[in-house]
Structure formats: structure tokens, C-alpha cells
Amino acid sequence: MLDAAPSVPGNLAVNVVVRDPNATIDGDPFLGPWLAACFDTGINAYAVVGSPNPHVFDAIKKHGGTIVFRPLTPTAAAARQAEALGADILVATGREEGGLLPDGPMGTFTAVPAMVDAVSIPVFAAGGINDARSVTAAFALGAQGVYVGSRFLATKESPAAQAVKDLILDSSGEDLVEVSETQRSLPTPAALRYAAEYAASHDGAPIEQDLMKKGGLRPGMLVGDFDEGVVTVNSGIGVIQDIPTVAELVERLASGIA
């Protein structure tokens, strides 16, 4: 049972991954305790990734939370369902993104207007947002904000290994290799092995399992162990030419808003 807790000041947000649209909170050994701890702490912003789950949405809204929902595969149907369940902001993610790739083929330029036209709540654009030009394009498509990941890896405050930042500066989207159905990576030695295995088998499940056993993205992206880890980034990294502070980067990106 999740009891209401008073909200606390602050801008802290947490990530909530929901893979099963029908799973109950009490029936999930991780999700239930995680949400309970967030509610007890007074967290008031939740970036929900995956499937629109009525149990999760309802619990968050009952505790006064704001929901930023990012479906793993952006569709108009998922957008409308999430809005009906109480999402406050939607994220339209194109296949240009880094991290886990959407199942469908839609890029940012097609995903954003499709979701914007489907709902009445704000839509943020994600996937390949690296500079002011891409921000301008996102707003021209109807987005009211941007959801940026890869570009912030190459900032002074980023906890990514320096070797990762240097690799991003020296690479472009043309260098990315497919290591599974849902992940791409810059060509680290580990990524090249996985890519060869995936090309031969067309089955990324064992590769995903092996990555998880080794710590997910931690070895490659946080530690900088390229012999064991992968480096996943969006396909527009060719425009990344320096490592600014976060404040400098935000100012640059904001200059793209008319």
C-alpha cells in the first residue's frame, strides 16, 4: 500500500522504467519499493520510460507527481493513451537516439509531428539533438521542449570517462555499429566483437544478456574500459566539436529557441 507523502521543495526527478503495461506495482519486486521510496522522499517529477501503465501513472498522480512519459516506440496511439492516463509531458524519440533504440523506424522528424498532432499536452523532441540548429528544427516541428542525452556526455561535469569524451569528439554517426536489435555503439573492441556476433546470428538477446552481466553501460561509458564495454550515443555526434560546461551547453541549445 502506497500512502501519500508531503511534497518537498526541489527540482529532483527520477527515471522509472516500465516494461509491462499491465504489471501491478505491488507485484514488481523492484518497482514497488522504488516508487515507495520516491514518494516518501517527496520526489515530484518522474521520467517514465517504456509502456503507459495505469497503475504506475495513477500512483504517481495520487502523490502529486509530474509525469514526463517517453514511450520506447513513439506512436500516436501510445501518446493518446499516456495523455488519457495523466501524463503531463510526452517525449517523441526518433531512431537517431543513443541508448535503447525504438522498435519502429521513425526518425525525430517524423515522430515529433505525429505525436504533436495526436495530443494536447506538450511534446518534447529526442534523438539527435546536439546543437542550436536541431533545437530550432524540433520547435519548428511543434515540439515545446527537447530531451537531450548524448550531447551532455561530452561536458566538463559529465561522469563519463575522459576516454569516452575524446572518442565522441573523434567520431561521427558513420562510425556506429549495431551490436543488437536495440543498441548501437561506437567501435570499441567489445562493440566490434558484439557487432560481428550479431551480424552472424541476427540474435541480439545473448549479447544484451552478456552486456547486463558485465554491468550494462558502466564498463564502457563510466569506466572507459573499451575492451569490455560499449559506448552508445546518438547518430548526430559528428557536430560535437568540444567539451563545454553544462551551463555553456544549455545556453547554446537555448539559443535555438526562436
Q: What is the pLDDT of residues 203-252, one digit of tens each?
A: 999 999 999 999 999 999 999 999 999 999 999 999 999 999 999 999 99
Residue 11: predicted pLDDT: 64
Portions of the chain given CATH number 3.20.20.70: 13-152+245-255
Residue 94: predicted pLDDT: 94
Distances (CA, A) of 147 to 161, 174, 244: 22, 23, 18
Cβ atoms of 209 and 136 within 8 Å: the answer is no
pTM: 0.89
Here the cell at position 110 is 517524423
Here the cell at position 177 is 555499429
Q: Single out the residue of 243, 242, 247, 180 nearest to residue 217, CA to CA.
A: 180
Residue 4: predicted pLDDT: 41
Those residues with Cβ within 8 angstroms of residue 41's Cβ, 6 or more apart along the chain or in another chain: 5, 8
**Measured distance CA(193)–CA(215) in Å, rounded:** 17
Q: Which residues of the chain have pLDDT under 70?
A: 1-11
> Coil, strand or helix: which one is 11?
coil
Here the cell at position 35 is 516508487
- The domain defined by 13-152+245-255 folds into TIM Barrel (3.20.20)
**Measured distance CA(238)–CA(48) in Å, rounded:** 29
Alpha carbon of residue 20 to chain centroid: 18
| Angle at 31 (CA atoms; ends 161, 126), nearest 5 degrees | 50
